[in-house]
Chain A
């Protein structure tokens, strides 16, 4: 049985359900932010399958709003932690792990051979030599584009930056935005920066930069912004006023050609009426040919809060989510890529393209700016990216501000 409760109703529902669940069943509470229709259905299916395998456990799923969850997690972890919850690995989990709010699940990794099955993501769930999260999905970033407008202006799908910018000129002549985005929530700008920096300076430099080892006023960072400056005139003018979802119709209606986004956007494009024929995907074009191609693929994961009451079943749930066949089924429903090496990727063309792209990446795979960099740096950085996209002439002031933040954040 899956029980849904939201916000203030959660407590009431929990009270009602505790009497409804049969006496023999142990309750496992699971708080999650998967409130979009597709992920929600996928997780409900997973919970149902888990309960079928473990009839003595009753999983109570509490679904919260995705944006609200990002701030609520601090409250519920310190006051009334569930048995299982989801969050993002790397730097996004670091403050919670340091504060002792996550449970060490290294034993789950050891008992289930997860260090080899989930080897690709081991570094980002490991802190202080212990494992804290079980990743269940990841997805590629890249450029999603409208094939119809490419044909309309006679542009070919570019592989180099020069070709991409030449296409932009064609789109501009036709009154089409070459690149669109919605930056009011800031994070979409970080995807563009990450790719420009990965293509200009490569993965190692990007990693050093997000780790605070390189100055933001460095000439190599300036080189990245110089490439970005070429793109700014071709970008949707009022991006700062709209969310990423608001920019989707621009692609669907052919008012814009390209969108630097994660694969989760495919569902939104298709909802708008695009098909595998009209929607295209390409890796971000090459800027500096001497830099090995690196990609961006954020990972999502589940964890056990330190204050969990039903630890045994929570660990059982961790092991279950990590399993190859479970991840195959979950990600087929999510439309994303499974982390477990033994899983198979769904046959959706965008998933296949993403998997192909990521598994042949020679340079390295970045998580995302706000997971590779600490929270404070991420916030100041993304604000700077947005400002640059609106006022490129402020570059010096922006970089000085980022450098000041770096000096403080990484001390």
Chain B
């Protein structure tokens, strides 16, 4: 029966094409997620026998000051990292002109995103370093006494976020620059004829057309804030006394660092972080799905 054969082919072909990707996704993403959840119910040092302890890891987490410090820092990261979106937009609009040498300026602004996060972290560590750091000297010159940002539990998280914002703003800027290329010139022209200028032009004419770019910028910035591991690791290793930890770093510290032999506890932290990310991710997916079905 040729008809059913064709039908089978239609049904089967997409799955065959998807299979390699799905397989990889299963092995490297889906299965490890469930494995982590499973490990979080064990007391395991990563080397010897694992012991089932039920929800004890989670019970301990609820009563762990370090966990709340990390959670609080994650929230600070999320909020302040969002500054990258308006800042990136501002720079993008500023750079969206036709002047000779603009390509050079654009690439200079884009530069921090190209260099590795590790290098960014090191550069800012020196920038903040007591006694010889540029920032330290500046504060010393202004106020008379220097502040070692990375040694002070009150400022350390903000210091790291400032370092993280530098490349993140560049990233958002690029997203907006490509977005600005697609802004319809006739609409801008029409708005101009209607007398729109400055903020009103930006708010009612340009920004609505940049919505796809804004969406992507918000998503990558949110996820970037939640993944903020490398800078914390490079600049402070969570210190001083754990005050700059974020959840991802705390998880690493408990499970895999020099003194960390608590796979179960680390996995429990990972599950909590995953749950937080899931809130945002499902929100985005829902929005994308809604946008597509509306069309």
Interface residues of A, Cβ cutoff 8 Å to B = 67, 70-71, 74, 78, 95-96, 98-101, 183-186, 237-242, 370, 375-376, 378-379, 383-384, 386-387, 390-391, 401, 408
Contact = CB atoms under 8 A, between A and B. Distances in A.
A183 B259 CA distance: 16
Given A71-B256, A240-B240, A386-B239, A98 B150 contact: no
Given A184-B237, A241-B130, A71 B257 contact: yes
B240 A387 contact: yes
A393 to B, nearest CB: 13
A378 B253 CA distance: 13
B153 A391 contact: yes
B236 A184 contact: yes
The B interface is mostly helix, strand or loop, or mixed, namely: loop
Contacts of A98: 47-48
Contacts of A376: 259-262
Among A183, A241, A376, the one with the most B-chain Cβ atoms within 10 Å of its Cβ is A241
Contacts of B131: 238
Contacts, number: 83
27 contacts: A71-B256, A71-B258, A74-B47, A78-B47, A95-B47, A95-B48, A95-B261, A96-B47, A98-B48, A99-B48, A100-B48, A184-B237, A184-B239, A238-B130, A239-B151, A240-B151, A240-B240, A241-B128, A241-B151, A375-B258, A375-B261, A376-B259, A378-B259, A379-B253, A379-B260, A386-B241, A401-B65
Given A239-B151, A242-B151, A391-B153, 13 more contacts: A184-B236, A184-B239, A240-B150, A240-B151, A240-B152, A241-B150, A241-B151, A242-B129, A378-B259, A379-B260, A384-B241, A387-B240, A387-B241
A408 B53 CA distance: 13
B46 interface: yes
B241 A383 contact: yes
A241 B239 CA distance: 9
A69 to B, nearest CB: 10
B242 interface: yes
Given A71-B256, A240-B240, A241-B130, A99 B47 contact: yes
Interface of B: 45-48, 60, 65, 128-131, 148, 150-153, 236-237, 239-242, 253, 256-262
Contacts of B262: 376
A391 B241 CA distance: 10
A95 B46 CA distance: 10
Contacts of A96: 47
A311 to B, nearest CB: 21
Nearest to B256: A71
A115 B151 CA distance: 46
Nearest to A397: B65
B130 A70 contact: no
Contacts of B253: 379
Contacts of B153: 390-391
Contacts of B236: 184
Contacts of A99: 45, 47-48
B46 A386 contact: no
Among B47, B256, B258, the one with the most A-chain Cβ atoms within 10 Å of its Cβ is B258
Contact of B241 (A67, A390, A408): A390
Of all A-B residue pairs in the complex, the 10 with the closest CB atoms, nearest first, are: A99-B47, A241-B151, A387-B241, A240-B151, A379-B259, A240-B240, A238-B148, A238-B130, A99-B48, A70-B258
Contacts of B256: 71, 74
Contacts of B259: 370, 375-376, 378-379
A382 to B, nearest CB: 8
Contact of A241 (B60, B129, B241, B242): B129
A74 B46 contact: yes
Contacts of A74: 46-47, 256
Nearest to A255: B131
B48 A186 contact: no
B54 to A, nearest CB: 16
B130 to A, nearest CB: 4
A165 B227 CA distance: 46
A67 B258 CA distance: 8
A212 B285 CA distance: 50
A71 B257 CA distance: 6
A212 B266 CA distance: 23
A95 B148 CA distance: 37
Contacts of B130: 237-238, 241-242
A94 to B, nearest CB: 10
